Amino acid sequence: MKRLLVILLIFTLSAWCFAGEPKKENANYAIIGAHGSSVTKDGTRAAEYDEATTHAEGSLKFRWLKTDGDVKVRWEGEVESHSDMRFKLIVNKGRWFKSTTTYNKFLHRLGHDRLKNLEGRESVNPDINKPGGKFVTHVDYEPDLEYYTVYENFRQVFDFNPENGGVFKHVQAGFNALSRKGYHQINGLSHCDSCHIQSKGAETDEITYDFWVKADAKIGNTDVSYSATYSKFNNQAGKSYFYYDIPRHPIKGNLIEELGSRTLFGGQILPADYNNDNEMFENKLSIESVITPKDTIYAKLLYSTQKNKALDLQLDTKAGSLRYTRKFSKDFRFDAYFSYYTLDNDDYYVDLPDWRAGRPGGGQPMSFLRQSAYNRDVSYFKLRGIYKLDQNQRLTFIYRYQQIDRDYLIVNYENNSTETTKNLFKIRYDARFEGVKAFVQASYEDIDHPFEAYNGIYEPSFHNYQGTLWYYKRERTGEATSLPNQDFKLNGSFTVDLNENSSLNMYASYRDGENDELNTYKMDLKYKNAGLDYFVQLGETTVLTLGYDYSNGSQTTLFAVPIMDG
């Protein structure tokens, strides 16, 4: 009934528009029809963004234009079903005012993970098929449920362009609302007796609001732009819950007190998969000033706050950048760029019970103050020179320096450093002649303490702790990373027009990286790639493309595998 009322309303409005005075423009049209579809097997792939109903659906597509003096109206829309429609309304009043209203609605099928791969058991002795104690099971409480999200996006923007020649050149105010409704799949995991994965559907009912204002002004030779944005996210869906198993021995079913002392919860129904309400406020200021015909300065400032409404946690971002550009001559241009930003995230006290409280050898405190790995200061500096050899050839030189100083995240085991510094040197040659285009570039980057899991590998296995608590005492002392501290790259491309209807493109790249600062192993990275593409136009509507690509890469990286009891 709702679908019928919507379609009737759209038909009525469209008929009212077309029933007015005769239109002077011939771009107006209305197309009314019907469509249907049928999907077999996996509909989430064949019709991921389509309702794909097997019965007939009404279809409407229209456009209506009208001009009355200096007022211009453009209204267009398309309706395929109750969950697939688009509308746009644009109203112009001369050159000083414009209103743009859009509405889009579409369906996204999410698919359903049957979890069938999550079923297995350890085999202690494969020869006699003797089972072990560790196993994984799964259960899907709603195996026939189809998961989907219906998106609705309403956007209203007002643009003002003052014509009085004052300071303000453009002012914009806008509102955007994006809603997501439907059902999605959630999973829960019980552990410390076995890996028991549970799955069921949860309601999706979320909406995000954005309000913003923006103003552009010109003062002498300086352009100034300021914008303020407020965003709010609301989760209106009800909470979902899972029952988490009682911790117990996977075979004997006993040791409930012992295994329960190592877990935070068990034998309880608890909420799962819930997004908290949050909000954000952002201010941005941009300045571009032409000092002389050869010198220009660009500056930007940003301040934003993001708040988790449920826990009253806040993340503050402060950023600024400055760029200076000078044209020394018609053949040489120089840029200097500097930026700095800082992230400050609130601390949060995580209150946990003592580990193995009341058990022999237990009682170790596990509560801690969570100090965010987001907290950091980042400095960035870049110099760039562009030199024209002639009209067809150009050389570019770049030097870039970056420093990341984290407050609480350690990236080097030896000296507990929280800093990463990068120095990059790059040179590039570009050429363009008649029928030929080519470039080649080489870069080298030296990185001091790239991001790494500074305690990502366990100590050597010959450390043989005795007793029931060996896995608690075992330490991680090895550094691990997949990032190089020395990185060399070389790549290029060559394109030639063979004739008016065909062209050939050849390309190649090479990378050699290593990290020799780790205390456990040497990370080595090598990558080669080359190929060619041939294009030929056989006719006005036919193009033939042939290509070949070769890639070869290798990387040495170690990591630690987490297993039961350490």
pLDDT given for residue 44 in this prediction: 67
Residues 6+ apart with CB under 8 A from 520: 457, 478, 479, 480, 558
CB-based contact 272:188 (threshold 8 Å): yes
pLDDT given for residue 371 in this prediction: 94
Judged against a pLDDT cut of 60, whether residue 398 lies above it is answered with: yes
Lowest mean pLDDT, pick from 169-183, 265-279, 330-344, 378-392:
265-279
Single-letter residue type at 307: K
What φ, ψ does residue 388 adopt, rounded to 5°?
Answer: -90, 115
pTM of the predicted structure, to 2 decimals: 0.80
Alpha carbon distance 296, 324 (integer Å): 6
- Shortest CA distance to 399 belongs to which of 336, 474, 311? 336
CB-based contact 197:137 (threshold 8 Å): yes
Alpha carbon distance 347, 315 (integer Å): 10
Region 451-467 average pLDDT: 64
pLDDT given for residue 565 in this prediction: 43
- Shortest CA distance to 360 belongs to which of 469, 249, 472? 469
Neighbour tally for 70: CB within 10 Å: 11
Report domain extents, the chain.
1-104, 110-224+233-275, 280-409, 449-566
Judged against a pLDDT cut of 80, whether residue 50 lies above it is answered with: no
Determine what percent of the chain is predicted with pLDDT higher than 90. 57
Which residue has better confidence, 251 or 20?
Answer: 251
pLDDT given for residue 43 in this prediction: 63
Judged against a pLDDT cut of 90, whether residue 15 lies above it is answered with: no
- Shortest CA distance to 304 belongs to which of 367, 227, 237, 236? 227
CA distances from 330 to 431, 432, 439 (A): 17, 18, 21
Reported as a pLDDT band with limits 50, 70 and 90, residue 388 is very high
Alpha carbon distance 356, 365 (integer Å): 9
CB-based contact 225:172 (threshold 8 Å): no
pLDDT digits (tens, 9 = 90+) for 114-133: 888 888 877 777 677 776 67
Which residue has better confidence, 361 or 9?
Answer: 361
Copy the structure tokens of residue 149: 């999200």
Neighbour tally for 75: CB within 10 Å: 19
List the alpha helices (DSSP H) in 143-269: 256-260
Instruction: Tell me if residue 125 falls in helix, strand or coil.
Output: strand
Judged against a pLDDT cut of 80, whether residue 459 lies above it is answered with: no
**Please, is 334 exposed, middle or buried when counting C-beta atoms within 10 Å of its C-beta (0-12, 13-18, 19+)?**
middle
Which residue has better confidence, 312 or 324?
Answer: 324
Reported as a pLDDT band with limits 50, 70 and 90, residue 559 is low
Alpha carbon distance 17, 7 (integer Å): 15
Copy the structure tokens of residue 240: 């979902």
Residue burial 204-221, b: 16+ Cβ < 10 Å; e: rest? bebeeeeebebbbeeeee
Alpha carbon distance 244, 15 (integer Å): 58
The length of the chain is: 566
**Please, is 449 exposed, middle or buried when counting C-beta atoms within 10 Å of its C-beta (0-12, 13-18, 19+)?**
buried
